[in-house]
Amino acid sequence: MQKKEQLYEGKAKKVFATENPDYVIVSYKDDATAFNGLKKGTISGKGVINNKMSNMMMAMLEKKGIPTHFVEQLSDRDTVVKKVQIVPLEVIIRNVAAGSFSKRYGVPEGTKFSAPTIEFSYKNDELGDPLINDYHALALGLATAQEIDTIKKMAFAVNDAMIEFFKQLNIDLIDFKLEFGRFKGQILLADEISPDTCRFWEAGTWDTTKHVSLDKDRFRRDLGGVEDAYKEVFKRLTGE
């Protein structure tokens, strides 16, 4: 499959048309942003790792019965995916308090929840992706009640599968962000699953004040060792 015209350029990926109107090619870049684009940088090799890792995760989730947009990996950075219409919600699942949750509710990072939580942000850069609830999403016409129900069930199923998967790699899955899309009347898991979109902590360090981040927090918080953290997660995934 060949790249045709560029349809879109986002913060971390470009999207190209293909000869098949049902498919697009996503091309992963090394560019990194944080804090709604205020912090910018490059994480060398990130695009290759995120492309391959996200495809592995999508394939793993498909096997568990979760429908995704993934079609075929073309190269180190390029992947064919189904051309979905993105539901403008960032769906965040959390197992342990961190980041904005800790800040918003005054809960120390590393506090484990008795059950996972879900929250939605309205995907809108101008507004800074504000936190919203189901009723707001309905009122804004972002998704139907049925779609929201499907998205919640799928997101928790993804969490169950990913917790188990990463446990085997000695990684605790703290939280992550998912995006979903509509394709021929069905809701599919879309976007990416990578250290850009998940918090991965070295196993067993979540209940200490000195957790070890293997994810984009190393970039956001200037912790150093950003590239090495991405490489380490990838090594545990693939042995490479």
Q: Smallest gap, in angstroms, from Cβ of residue 89 to ligand UDP?
A: 12
Q: Name the residue among 181, 38, 37, 177 with its Cα closest to residue 121.
A: 177
Stretch that binds ligand UDP, among 18-26, 96-104, 139-147, 227-235 (CB under 6 A): 96-104
Instruction: Confirm if 216 and 32 have CB atoms less than 8 A apart.
Output: yes
Q: Does 89 bind ligand UDP (CB under 6 A)?
A: no
String marking each residue 113-152 x if it binds ligand UDP according to CB under 6 A: ----------------x-----------------------
Residue closer to ligand UDP by CB (options 16, 201) is 201
Q: Does 230 bind ligand UDP (CB under 6 A)?
A: no
Residue nearest to ligand UDP (CB): 99
Round to whole Å and give the CA distance between 131 and 194: 22
Q: Smallest gap, in angstroms, from Cβ of residue 98 to ligand UDP?
A: 6
According to CB under 6 A, which one of 51, 55, 95, 197 is a site residue for ligand UDP? 197
Q: What angle do CA 178, 125, 34 make, to 5 degrees?
A: 70
Note the residue count of the chain.
240
Stretch that binds ligand UDP, among 39-47, 66-74, 110-118, 194-202 (CB under 6 A): 194-202
Q: Looking at residue 111, what DSSP letter applies?
A: P
According to CB under 6 A, which one of 29, 46, 69, 216 is a site residue for ligand UDP? 216
Q: Does 177 bind ligand UDP (CB under 6 A)?
A: yes
According to CB under 6 A, which one of 6, 100, 144, 170 is a site residue for ligand UDP? 100
Q: How many other β-carbons are positioned within 10 Å of the β-carbon of residue 84? A: 22
Burial of 171 by CB count in 10 Å (0-12 exposed, 13-18 middle, 19+ buried)? buried
What number of CA atoms fall less than 13 Å from residue 50's CA on the CB side?
Answer: 25
Q: Does 44 bind ligand UDP (CB under 6 A)?
A: no
For ligand UDP (CB under 6 A), the number of binding residues is 14
The one-letter code for the residue type at 3 is: K
Round to whole Å and give the CA distance between 165 and 162: 5
The residues near 58 (Cβ < 8 Å, ≥ 6 apart) are 68, 69, 70, 189, 193
Q: Name the residue among 9, 44, 34 with its Cα closest to residue 219.
A: 34
According to CB under 6 A, which one of 58, 80, 198, 212 is a site residue for ligand UDP? 198
The residue ranges that bind ligand UDP (CB under 6 A) are: 90, 92, 98-101, 129, 175-177, 197-199, 216
